[in-house]
Amino acid sequence: MKPIIFDAESIKSIINQPESITRCTKTQMRRILKYQPIDILPMPNSKNPNMETWVTLDVKGEKIEDNRGKVIGCRYGVPGDTLYVKETFFHDGTDEPSALHFRANANMADEEWFRAQGWKWTSPWFMRKEYARIFLEITKVRVEKLQDISAWDCLMEGILINSEEALDFMDASPNEFYGWGIEGFAEEFRETFAKRWNSIHAKPKPKKRGGVITHYESYPWENIQETKKFRGLPWRVFGNSWVWPIDFKAINK
């Protein structure tokens, strides 16, 4: 069983704590391919028909020669595999059932009380498997460019749009809204998703080799591919990147 990290906002959507009735439970996520190819072609997998594979035609960035024509599969798994969710947490060190605290559950009053105890949230990177409370079963995996996301995909990503027109439409005709009607708000859904995506992926993030930062990378929504400087080191921008759209459902474990 592999881990997957989500932020507090995504966790709330997964466990169905929507801020608005136009926000659905999150049942889809996107994860960036480790190496960004120029193009990808589907390839039948004779050894495991349940595992979809693809062939990369070229790679941008490092190790171009090593990765040209490489057969790849989603590193998070295939349909039927289970993931356990790592999230921001704190364990107060006691044996009480309430010893484990999750930031996704905290409101402003909880945060103030938390700080008053002198506690600090722990990064999800350090969350132990036995602390996991959310388990996801992968139901579908594919590969596509980031900007290929549809309005329906945005909804499955748990995206909220602030639109009175959408609210009125959904209240009056929910079946039509969740059917053909949602495409009428595709631009708003995609713009909202883009802002959320950029808040996480547009900033330069350090990449290390041998414990030393060698360069920075970012993966913004905009279709930009360039290399510039950040803190004296190369900053590689892979806009409109190739991503793994992964459908999932929450399960009991």
Segment 119-165, tens digit of pLDDT: 889 999 999 999 999 999 999 999 999 999 999 899 899 887 777 77
pLDDT of 9 strictly over 90 = no
How confident is residue 252, by pLDDT bands cut at 50, 70 and 90? confident
Which of 72-81, 111-120, 204-213 has the highest mean predicted lDDT (pLDDT)? 204-213
Mean pLDDT of 43-54: 62
Element (H, E) at 225: strand 225-230
Residue among 243, 188, 252, 253 at smallest CA distance from 28: 243
**Could you give the CA distance from residue 1 to residue 112 in angstroms, rounded to a whole number?**
35
How confident is residue 21, by pLDDT bands cut at 50, 70 and 90? very low
Rounded to an integer, what is the distance from CA 85 to the centroid of its chain?
Answer: 12
Other CB atoms closer than 10 Å to residue 177's CB: what's the count?
19
pTM beyond 0.75, yes or no: yes
Residue among 136, 161, 151, 160 at smallest CA distance from 14: 136
Mean pLDDT of 83-106: 89
**Could you give the CA distance from residue 235 to residue 220 in angstroms, rounded to a whole number?**
13
Other CB atoms closer than 10 Å to residue 13's CB: what's the count?
22
Segment 157-188, tens digit of pLDDT: 988 777 777 777 766 776 677 676 777 888 88
**Could you give the CA distance from residue 183 to residue 155 in angstroms, rounded to a whole number?**
11
Query: How much is the mean pLDDT over the chain?
Result: 84
